[in-house]
Amino acid sequence: MTSTLESLREHLFETSLLESTIAALEWDEHTGMPSEASEYRSQQLAYLSGLVHRRRTDPRIEGWLDELESGLGSHSDHGVDSDGVPAPAVTILRTLRKDFNRSRKLPQSLVEEIAKGTSLGQQAWVKAKDENRYEDFLPYFHRILELRRQEAQCLVEDGQTLYDALLDHYEEGMRVDSLKPILANLRSALVPLVKRASEASRRLPKGVLQGPFELSAQREFSRWVAERIGFDFQRGRLDETVHPFCTTLGPHDHRILTRYTAESFSSGLYGVLHEAGHGMYEQGLDPNWYGTAVGAAASLGIHESQSRLWENMVGMSKEFWVWAHPVAAKHFPQISKRTVDELVGELRRVEPSLIRIEADEVTYNLHILLRFELELELVSSELDPADLPAAWNAKVEEYLGLVPPDDSSGVLQDVHWSAGLIGYFPTYTLGNIYAAQLFRAADRDLGGLNDKIARGEFEPLVHWLRKRVHRPGRAWTPLQLMRNATGEEVDSKYLIEHLRDRCEALENAGE
């Protein structure tokens, strides 16, 4: 069994070399690649993606898995460690069997076409967004959507919808039928909360944080915050891009990217907190098992829980600003003139807005709900991409009471569809739900997080997350991981309670 496991590890590691090379090219594509290089870059990505797919569907994998399964059946020492985490061989067998079966259902030509189509699509999206020309992006989106439908048709199993087949890749085990009640429950709570919080926000003083904010000061302060909460800059770096994201180029190479604007102090900072949360999750995975499920994230929803926990549960707390205010005041004259309460009140202001990544935490999930509903219609062919801008604007008006003035601030604002990430958006709201529940459990286990945060003591929380969320990798499905980490089934009540508490604080501040 040891020999078989080592053969698998070697194969998976070599595959990860190719995957990390793809990630490096994609990172470059978003940070410094000349626009005229897009066609050749798409060919590079298509070729490398084809090589990865051939390795993922290598017939030897099935033989190795059968041997591993047989070996596990004859050994009694393959159980769990002291924290209850399954042995690496058990995790690799479960996840690789699933991944292998999924990969071999996909034709090589389709994998390469998706890689090429999404690379070209992302370049077309950047240009279309800059020039507010959805019609220029439309033919690329038609192609990307058709390719993803073909992928779903290859993958769909009995009892699944096409959307289920795409969603499962990002959130293992999740189905539309299970997701809809979760989101419906949250939506029912959000509607009155948005109304209350918006009214309370209107009573707060205006102009508390007026720009401009020096970009160099924003960069310096944001980096300081990321380092202090636990992002390791010896194993990562911080750069700038159009659409903030985090990517991993190797077991000790984690890149986080944000964007800064002179008008907004919070946009860049909270972008960094968000992406640092992603990066710290990657840095918390076991580097010795990089390339295998043991050293991989449990799901995108769990990944998002880490970014939202640091961005909202920690970064939006009053205690965070009790700690950070003195340093921020040295960087920004506007903040030196404001109290912690004034600053927190302004940062927590609830006001429906058009841009998802700049939305406050109360209205944010409405942005996800509308995208999820549109995706369902797109994948089922009930909605044609040509009609998407009008459908988008109608949803925004229904949920947020706003009408986008143009497509750049509407349907073109997100990179996801140009990257082919259809089925991805629900993981953002699941991440918020997971984050609130994890923070509550950590607070319970650590004996009160707020006092520690106010003193800038983030290590206890990082250690708690390392043990319960990061180090298990993909040992469990997302729902199992949450149950093991918190002692409860996943429940949106903790997010609803958190948002109600924030709403009540806004109301008290406005009195």
φ and ψ at residue 413, rounded to 5 degrees: -75, -25
Residue 357 DSSP label: G
φ and ψ at residue 424, rounded to 5 degrees: -85, -40
- With beta carbons less than 8 A apart as the criterion, state whether 492 and 432 touch: no
- List the 236-240 sheet strands across, edge first: 236-240, 253-258, 245-250
Strand 245-250 to strand 236-240: parallel, antiparallel, or no bridges (unpaired)?
unpaired
Unique residue bearing structure tokens 């076991």? 286
Q: How many angstroms separate the CA atoms of 108 and 56, rounded?
A: 11
Angle between helices 388-400 and 134-155 (to 10 degrees): 90
Q: How many angstroms separate the CA atoms of 375 and 381, rounded?
A: 10
Q: How many angstroms separate the CA atoms of 325 and 343, rounded?
A: 9
- With beta carbons less than 8 A apart as the criterion, state whether 335 and 343 touch: yes
> CA distances (Å), 443 to each of 436, 437, 448, 450, 504, in order?
11, 10, 5, 8, 20
Per the residue annotation, which of 275, 346, 373, 375 is the catalytic one? 275
Cis peptide before 212 (omega within 30 of 0): yes
> CA distances (Å), 366 to each of 188, 339, 370, in order?
11, 31, 6
Unique residue bearing structure tokens 């995108």? 300
Give yes or no: 227 in active site.
no
Amino acid at 79: G
Sign, CA dihedral 407-410-414-416, equals negative
Q: How many angstroms separate the CA atoms of 333 and 329, rounded?
A: 6
**Other Cβ atoms within 10 Å of 447 Cβ, number:** 9
- With beta carbons less than 8 A apart as the criterion, state whether 23 and 30 touch: no
The encoded tokens of residue 157 equal 């199993």
Q: Which residues pair with 239 in a beta bridge?
A: 257
The encoded tokens of residue 33 equal 């690649």
How far is the first Cα of the chain from the last one, in angstroms, to the nearest whole number? 68
Q: How many angstroms separate the CA atoms of 219 and 259, rounded?
A: 10
Helix count (H) and strand count (E) of the chain?
A: 21, 3
Q: How many angstroms separate the CA atoms of 471 and 467, rounded?
A: 6
Q: How many angstroms separate the CA atoms of 43 and 23, rounded?
A: 15
User: Which residues are catalytic, by number?
Assistant: 275
